[in-house]
Amino acid sequence: MPRIAKSVRITGRVQGVFFRAWTAEQARELGVTGWVRNCPDESVQAHLEGDDASVEALITLLHRGPPSAKVEQIQVDEAELTNADGFEVRH
């Protein structure tokens, strides 16, 4: 299956609510690779790579987020494949 890459920025109450760890867990379960990190503007940014169905499934989950998060907006853009190996939480 061809791989795609997406850059995602999530805003709302998404820092301090285990959003990054939750995202990494969901990504690993779906076979999505890439990374997730907190941004200085209190948003969360992620780079997602995988087959279209898996990446889209993760983006759907990101709209909800973990139980204590309150997602207000998600911006999704096309990205370049980096052939990421695994999924990491960046600091």
- Point out the residues that are catalytic: 20, 38
What does the CA dihedral 60, 29, 31, 52 come to, rounded to 10 degrees?
A: -20
> Using CA atoms, how far apart are residues 38 and 22, in angstroms rounded to an integer?
13
- Cα–Cα distances (Å) from 48 to 12, 64, 68, 69, in that order, read 20, 17, 22, 20
